[in-house]
Structure 1
Amino acid sequence: MSVKRRLYLSNILMLVLPIVLVIATSACLLLIYQGVTGVRGKPQPPMNNGETIPARLDLARQLSADLTEAEGDASRFSRLDDFNGEYAESGLRAFWYQGNRRIYPAQLPAPVPDGIDMPGEGSSALLTESYAIYRVPAGAGMLALIDTESKLDPGGRSRQQLYTGLFLLAVLILIVVATNRLLTRFVFRSIVNPIEMLAEGVHQLRDGNLTYRIRYVKQDEFAEVCRDFNRMAEQLSDMVEERSRNERSRRELIAGISHDLRTPLTSIKAYLEGLEKGVASTPRMQAKYFATIKSKVEHLEHVISQLFLFSKLDVGEFPLYLERVELGAELKRMSEAFAAEYKPKGLDLRLEGTLPTAIAVVDPVQFRNVIQNVLENSLRYTDQDRAEVVLEASETDRTVEILLADNGPGVREDELARLFDVFYRSDDSRKRTELGSGLGLAISSKVIERLGGRITAELVPSGGLGIRIVLPTAKSTEGLPSKGAEYEKDTDY
């Protein structure tokens, strides 16, 4: 049940339940009163001696039965004398009438008048402020008990009404308090418990426990809040992990930059010192030293250029000039050009399979650089006499997949995901700094990502390394710029 419905139901019950309970309590009290006193209908006024009217009437009926069973007036008079003697101290006296004529006793006690007018037939009672009369049938006559001690007590009636009112007021207050407490517990338990769970969750996150999750099974307004809290905790955990990864990458980036700049600078410094000290004394040695220095400077320039390109791609400030191209034809042209370029360097590039005919939106220059970076990587790390790369391509309704698989030594499976990290090199290649800076695949990853695709590394059956590139086709890239347009960092695929 939702909290809103609980509040609505609680407000209704807060009004209805006390009324129902008060009515039920009053009815029960009335039934109890009638059961104890035997009075039906209008309640009788209280008497000052605390006796009840039905008790006196029962006493009169018992005496009437004795008189009916007695034989002769003498026997009846004797029974009446005994009764009056027994109850004389209680102020109770018996009288016997036949019709309107009093048979017993001969004289009425004060303050009872001689004439008693009690309309109706059967048993009845008359209360005045001076006495009380109880009348019951007795054979052919009528028996009356006159009680000068029992009389109408107006003050007692007022007190009884006051006590009854106070009692009902106390019952009403008790019912309202109990109902309020019950309904408050019914409503606020469903509010306080989730709030306490959320507070505990906040404390756990504050203390650094980002794995804490709230388990809330009820389907009410707090369910969505708890789900949002869990999503927030998950996002915080991801953000902290991402920050840790970024910090680790930053340290590795600084270490990589320092290494890749220090190594050629150290060589340049050594060769310059050799020239300065006359180690290269012959023109031939000097030319060799100058050539080496020039090579190291070019290497530094290449590293700095690659680093600049990566930083621009990383922050999305490097523009891409997009064109709609048929990837199959583009791959064929590139493979032919690269095959001729890399064959003298010791790499054989072979195009296999049916080429896709799908149209994709790419920056041809940067796409060519991506393929070239993969080929350079295969050439540098091959352990064969000649490196060999097989290029395959396939297409689906929405994507084109390109696989470049080499015959190199490959890498460990746990290193596949890190190959695209900046300055990352596998453990074996770390010892061979001349193999490269580790920026090529990182730049390729950023370019493909900017083109709306993805690039992954995998191990191929031949044991080498495979680089898989997935690009969206033109069908899934509607709204992209036309040929030659500049692709800025806010372009949304």
Structure 2
Amino acid sequence: MMATLKVKMIIALISVIVIPLAVTAVSLALLSQNIERISSEIDDSHKQTTEEIQLLFQELPPVTSDGFDQRMDDISASYQAALQVFYQGEPIYGEEELNTSPNGLRFNYATISIEGETSAGEQVQAELSLKSSELESRIIKYILISIGSGVLALLLTIGIWVWLLSRSVITPLKAVYEASEEARKGNLDYPVPNGKKDEVGRFISSFNLMRQEIKDSFAKKQAYERSRQELIAGISHDLRTPLSSIQGYVEGLRDGVVKSEERQHQYLNIIHKKTLQVDRLIEDLFDLTKLELKKLPIDQQRISSSSFTEDMIEAISPADHDNKILTIGDMAPSVTLFIDPVRMQQVMTNLVDNAFRYGENHVVVSTRLIKNQWYMDISDNGLGMHEEMLEKIFTPFYRADYARNDGGSGLGLSIAKSIVEAHGGALTVSSEKGEGTTFTVSLPVKRKDNNIS
């Protein structure tokens, strides 16, 4: 599992503290080892220096002679050291403070105490102190190296974490900023790449989801606007056609164009028919609007599927469909449905009427039961529909080319689908060109008391 941003920050903080301290500790450990080695080397050097100076003291002139101080100066310069000489407990040569380095640091272990005898047999004591202690300079050098190593480790650790966090945070945020700028310009097809599982990854996922939802919202808004425009155009067209006919026939009657009573009666029948067509269109529009607003009253009640099917078949008038045959196919066992029988009869009647109107001469009604779904199939042997028609068949005011002059409103299937969906069911269609069409209504079955017949 990938570490979250919070965990990464904690690890970064710990590493920034621990790594430099560890490097410094290792450097100091190495320094300790070097100090021991250097101290041993210096002790050996001091012993050798002591022996050499003791030999030189044997060649010294008497302490009271003029050449004594000059000889001491030569020895001090030769060993690059501060030298103090005592005779009979009194200082006779040298500086008062020998154990102070040029940096003001005292190193007592750098002072060499020597006892010797001059050429005159005088017992003298000397203290030799290095003016620039080799041990001191090496210690300072290693301390600086240790501190420098720690600082370098700190800078490297900070640099590495800045780079890692930049890749984890700054780079993705830059991509989000660029995507938001594109969205501001109207380009919503600009997803932010995301392969992270931490907080930044979740932020990017939320941003992409928001971008997609805004895009879908715009698409729905545009589709709604197109649908609204098509609806207005459809209403205008479908109202204008019958109203124009009504106007023409009324003007003919008013102007006395038609003289015979039979002809006048024919005109009145046409006017009545067109009026019913307008009334049906208006009723369909009311139903469609109420369904879209979820305000169409649905009076659901328990009813057996067999009773509902029988009532539907009885309601179909053979006289309205000359030379057409309605066949009852396979019927599933009766189950309990929870439906508004009036609204569902409206749906089934519309589907059967369409099958009679656009089929050849034969319509088959059958039912089936699959698990908790009851299905009614209404099939015709007509011309069938191609794929483009199937995609638009439930769109308000859509009518196939062969149905444009049949007087329908183009709202029946859209209303039927909405009514079925209001019952928790579905209305689907399947068709092949030249093979006929089948509309299928599926409704949920009530799970209790399914033995009604």
* TM-score, normalisation: structure 1: 0.71
Shift of 1:419: 0.7
What is the one-letter code of the residue matched to 1:379?
Answer: F
Q: Which residue of 2 aligns with 1:369?
A: 346
In 2, the alpha carbon distance for the partners of 1:225 and 1:331 equals 55
Question: What is the aligned partner in structure 2 of residue 415 from structure 1?
Answer: 389
Match of 2:190, as an amino acid? Y
Would you say how many aligned residue pairs link Structure 1 and Structure 2? 414
Name the CA distance, whole Å, in 2 between partners of 1:147 and 1:394. 120
For residue 20 of structure 1, the aligned residue among 16, 19, 22 is 22
Quote the residue 1:10 is aligned against. 12
Deviation at 1:316, TM superposition (A): 0.6
Rounded Cα–Cα distance in structure 2 between residues aligned with 1:236 and 1:358: 44
CA distance in 2, matches of 1:427, 1:352: 30
Q: State how far apart, in whole Å, the 2-side matches of 1:362 and 1:40 are.
A: 105
Distance 1:376 1:293, change over 3 A: same
The letter for the 2-side match of 1:129 is: E
Q: In structure 1, what residue type is equivalent to 2:369?
A: E
* Corresponding position of 2:218: 240
Q: 1:357 aligns with which of 334, 344, 355?
A: 334
User: 1-side partners of 2:78 and 2:225: how far apart?
Assistant: 112
Change over 3 Å in CA distance of 1:136–1:455 after alignment to 2: farther
Name which of 422, 425, 430 aligns with 1:450: 422
Closer/same/farther in 2, CA of residues 464 and 344 from structure 1, 3 Å limit: closer
- Asked if the contact 1:327–1:359 (Cα under 8 Å) also holds between the matched residues in 2, the reply is yes
Is contact 2:365-2:377 (8 Å) kept? yes
Aligned residue for 1:428? Answer: 402
1:114 aligns with 2:87: yes
CA 161–436 in structure 1, closer or farther in 2 if over 3 Å, else same:
same
Distance apart, 1:129 and its partner CA: 2.5
Deviation at 1:294, TM superposition (A): 1.6
One-letter code aligned to 2:366? E
Aligned equivalents of 2:299, 2:407: Cα separation in 1: 31
Following superposition of structure 1 onto structure 2, how do residues 24-423 of structure 1 map, counting pairs within 5 Å?
Answer: 24-32=26-34, 38-39=38-39, 57-58=47-48, 89-91=74-76, 111-114=84-87, 129=97, 133=112, 150=129, 176-187=154-165, 189-338=167-316, 340-342=317-319, 344-382=321-359, 384=360, 387-423=361-397
Alpha-carbon displacement from aligned partner over 1:402-429 (angstroms, at most 9, x marks no partner): 1111122122122112111110011333
Query: What's 2:120 paired with?
Result: none
Q: Which has the higher mean CA deviation after the structures are superposed, 397-406 or 161-170?
A: 161-170
CA deviation vs aligned residue, 1:348-391 (integer Å, no higher than 9, x gap): 22110132322221110000000111122223334x3xx32111
CA distance in 1: counterparts of 2:423 and 2:289, whole angstroms: 17
Q: 1:167 to 1:460 in 2, by over 3 A?
A: closer
CA distance in 1, matches of 2:179, 2:350: 48
Q: Which amino acid aligns with 2:393?
A: L
**Structure 2 letter corresponding to 1:367:** M
Given that residues 85 and 127 in structure 2 are in contact (C-alpha distance below 8 angstroms), is that contact kept between their aligned partners in structure 1?
no
Distance (whole Å) between structure 2 residues aligned to residue 204 and residue 10 of structure 1? 34
Deviations 1:125-158 (A, max 9, x none): xx97259646599xxxxxx99687x55689x98x
Q: CA deviation at 1:187?
A: 4.1
- Whether the aligned pair in 2 keeps the contact of 1:356 and 1:400 (CA below 8 Å) is no
> Is the Cα–Cα contact under 8 Å of residues 4 and 197 in structure 2 kept in the other structure?
yes
Give the letter for the 1:293 counterpart.
Answer: I
The alignment yields a C-alpha RMSD, in angstroms, of 4.2
Measured after TM superposition, the shift of residue 269 of structure 1 is 1.3
Identify the range of structure 1 (84-93 vs 207-216) with the bigger mean alpha-carbon deviation: 84-93
Query: How far, CA to CA, are the matches of 2:307 and 2:48 in structure 1?
Result: 123
Unaligned 5+ runs, structure 2: 62-68, 90-94, 100-110, 117-123
Structure 1: segments with no counterpart, 5+ residues: 42-51, 68-75, 95-109, 117-126, 138-143, 478-493
